[in-house]
Amino acid sequence: MSRLAEPIDQLPAVLTVDGLDVTVSGGVRAVREVTFAIGRGEAVGLVGESGSGKSLTCRSALGVLPAGCEVSGGRITLGAAGAEPDTAPGPGAELTAFSRKQWDAVRGRRVGAVFQDPASYLNPSLTVGRQLTEQLRVGAALSRAEAHIRAVELFTAVGLHRPEEVFHQYPHELSGGMLQRVLIAIAVSCSPELLIADEATTALDVVIQAEILELLQRLRAEQGLALLLVTHDLAVVAESCDRVLVMYAGEIVEDGPTAEVLASPAHPYTEALLRVASIGAWGRRELDIIPGRPPETGAELPGCRFADRCAHAAARCTEGPVALHSVDGGRRARCLRPAGLLGEATAPVTEGASV
């Protein structure tokens, strides 16, 4: 039976995460009952302070959890898709039950990914052109000659100047921004339905950051790609995401259309993040600005995990579990009094505001 407290009306979904639990260090619960869906072509932002479980959630959907971390509960399902490659598992395939071979058929082909440090995802001893053509030959069944032509087209599409020259270069010969473009070319080369970008622009300077984000939006428009964008920058979410998921201490605490969530948050943590952003705090300073500390990873608390930092907390907040529930149309929040928050004025997000 589905663990969804409420039906997700974002169908047709390209990815459905239902009650995901991830443990680290031999059983410490770092991701708790995470439930969300991403619709075809939808851009979803995933925000929350450092250590809240964003990367573990993304990595679970890619089958690349670090050693010692494992999916201990819930389901991750690929949504219904069109034509399937012969070797790829079909629509509705449950990723959490995948074998290594099944993952190989999905990763890159139906779900692509880019991370913060592109250099560590490329082989330093192979030219970047070779790395892209290998992906194309395996994932899109192209001949060597076809793959070369397609690789140059893709390098052009991701904004690399002199793509033929870049094709023959090694990773150490390229800048961080160029490497991220190469990685994006590899990630979208086999036309996945979903691209997961986990802080893909964090390490880049602001100009390159903006160019890469623009590139992702263009690819989204051209290829009908859905995006899951992990970021600490609420301005990026405001500009480029249809919907935003907010994580706190391993849980999703709010989910809703970006404009509505940013204009009137339904969870006090989201409200606090917006307050931090509106006063122009930079980087990950929210820990200093929101009073108190998040609970230890894995700490078992009887009620709301944000209660002891929350200005609105009441006795009932710590008496029992608080479920993520519908609060207003397509919105969900894990709070007993979201109606009290909805409608309260929040300062607008300013350019470059980060959490």
Q: Residues interacting with ligand ATP, by CB under 6 A?
A: 24-25, 30, 48, 50-56, 66, 68-69, 297
- State the binding partner of 56 from Mg ion, ligand ATP, none, CB within 5 to 8 A by kind: ligand ATP
Number of residues that bind Mg ion (CB under 5 A): 2
The sign of the CA dihedral 67, 93, 180, 21 is negative
Q: Using the minimum distance from each CB to ligand ATP, give the nearer residue, 119 or 126.
A: 119
For residue 309, give both structure tokens: 């930092």
CB of 79 or CB of 250, closer to ligand ATP: 250
The alpha carbon of 19 is separated from its chain's Cα centroid by a whole number of angstroms, namely 16
In one-letter notation, the amino acid at residue 206 is V
Provide the minimum distance between the beta carbon of 284 and Mg ion in the complex, in angstroms, as a whole number: 11
Q: Which does 204 bind (CB under 5 to 8 A by kind): Mg ion, ligand ATP, none?
A: none
Residue 224's CB: how many other CB atoms inside 10 A?
Answer: 12
Q: Which is nearer to ligand ATP, 233 or 271 (CB)?
A: 233
> 192 pairs with which residues across the strands?
none
24 binds, among ligand ATP, Mg ion, none (CB under 5 to 8 A by kind): ligand ATP
Which C-beta is closer to ligand ATP: that of 69 or that of 290?
A: 69
Say how far apart CA 98 and CA 100 lie, in whole Å: 7
Q: How far is the CB of 198 from ligand ATP (least distance, A)?
A: 7
CA separation for the pair 10, 148 (Å, rounded): 38
Kindly state the smallest distance separating residue 337's Cβ from ligand ATP, in Å: 26
What residues numbered 53-92 form the site for Mg ion, per CB under 5 A? 54-55
70-78 sheet: strands from edge to edge: 28-39, 13-24, 70-78
- Residue 134 Cβ vs ligand ATP, minimum distance, rounded to whole Å: 28
| Close Cβ partners of 232 (under 8 Å, ≥ 6 residues apart) | 47, 199, 202, 283, 284, 354, 355
CB of 34 to Mg ion, least distance (A): 14
* 233: β partners: 354
Binding positions for Mg ion, rule: CB under 5 A: 54-55
